[in-house]
Amino acid sequence: MKENKKYLISFLEMMFMIAIIICIFKFIVIPVKIEGNSMESTLHNESVALINKIGVKEENIHRFDVVVVYSDTLNEKIIKRVIGMPGDHIEFKNDVLYINGRMTQQDFLDKNFIIESKILYNASQFTEDFSADVGEGQYFVMGDNRLRSTDSRVLGTFSIDDIIGTEGIVIFPFNQIQIIG
């Protein structure tokens, strides 16, 4: 009898832990496998990250945040960086970002990676010239590897409802553990 009770308690403890783990991964964090090179040199292909799912509200999304958005066009989750906020006018001229007519630094970009990429892909610019208006309630997102990113330049802008996570931590591979912010 004691043996059966011991097994029952162990089983219930295990079920409780499974329920907690399911709740964490359903309501708090999103596991994301980075696929492709669109966020190089910030995030790397095949890396695994846990992204914060709670707190995705307009007031918590800031320019240059890394976010996970759901793309209806691609029918998948993609990870990108917020460049344009609601109501912004975005313009790139000669690899320089202008937001609402003001030159804006992109300190998160690795300058050596930009130079190497331009040489590798025989490109004169890392970000081709374009301009875009971001509608109210919309966000313009881009990958950090502008030469290899499918982002708002192709997919259009995203609403707050499309953003399913922001910030997080790369957990694999272990030698690349880093905070994503």
Is 159 catalytic? The answer is no
d(CA 167, CA 93): 29
Is 41 catalytic? The answer is no
Q: Which tokens sit at 48?
A: 């695994």
d(CA 76, CA 81): 16
Beta partners for residue 133, in sequence order = 89
Helices assigned H by DSSP within the chain: 2-23, 111-120, 152-155
Among the listed residues 80, 117, 149, 152, the single catalytic one is 80
Around Cβ 42, how many Cβ atoms within 10 Å?
20
Catalytic residue set = 38, 80
